[in-house]
């Protein structure tokens, strides 16, 4: 199977689960383009530093950076709170800040925000570096799962509480390679 075949799959198997098409590559690119336009309008004069949260946001971050109307810096950070299809509720320490972010506008790029637990921990850890502003940008947001009380400035698409894979999102480390996003068929 070559890479072009991945663009037309309606059902995929990842590990022990089947997933059905949820967002096409074209729909995803439209969402990314809209986010990039908003960020470009709002922040092009701020010289923001984008912090992409690994592992899931790497594809989203690359596509978003190419769509911005200004040249910007990007770095990658890592936190994790997932095991399988469920959040563990455990938050790990933020790693990967190699640049000075003091008095900088920071835009955190995330693939998905659901409960908000990991992002809240990241915000608190970033504040220790004294940035000028911290803005959140997520491709996908699950408002029905969100249990925290902070503002997410840039939301690409609100979704239901379905488990999804593709476009950087994974199930036990697999399924990131697809250019589309799929939702679980069975629970």
Instruction: Write out the catalytic residue numbers.
Output: 114
- φ/ψ region of 104 (left if φ > 0, alpha if ψ in -120 to 50, else beta) reads beta
Of 153, 91, 75, nearest to 125 by C-alpha is 91
Find the helix or strand (DSSP H, E) in which 140 lies. Answer: strand 133-141
**Which residues contact residue 149 at a Cβ distance below 8 angstroms, ignoring those fewer than 6 apart?**
none
> Cα 88–165–86 angle (5° rounding)?
15
The answer to whether 133 touches 76, Cβ cutoff 8 Å, is no
d(CA 89, CA 83): 10
Give phi and psi for 22, each to the nearest 5. -120, -50
């Amino acid at each position: 199977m070559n890479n072009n075949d991945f663009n037309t799959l309606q059902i995929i198997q990842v590990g022990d689960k089947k997933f059905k098409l949820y967002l096409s590559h074209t729909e995803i690119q439209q969402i990314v383009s809209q986010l990039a336009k908003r960020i470009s309008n709002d922040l092009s004069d701020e010289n923001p530093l984008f912090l992409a949260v690994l592992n899931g946001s790497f594809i989203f971050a690359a596509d978003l950076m190419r769509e911005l109307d200004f040249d910007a810096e990007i770095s990658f950070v890592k936190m994790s709170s997932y095991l399988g299809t469920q959040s563990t509720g455990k938050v790990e320490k933020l790693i990967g800040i190699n640049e000075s972010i003091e008095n900088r506008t920071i835009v955190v790029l995330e693939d998905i925000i659901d409960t908000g637990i990991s992002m809240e921990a990241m915000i608190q850890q970033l504040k220790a570096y004294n940035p000028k502003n911290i803005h959140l940008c997520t491709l996908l947001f699950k408002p029905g799962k969100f249990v925290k009380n902070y503002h997410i400035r840039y939301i690409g698409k609100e979704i239901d509480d379905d488990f999804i894979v593709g476009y950087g999102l994974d199930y036990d480390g697999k399924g990131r390679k697809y250019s589309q996003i799929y939702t679980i068929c069975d629970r």
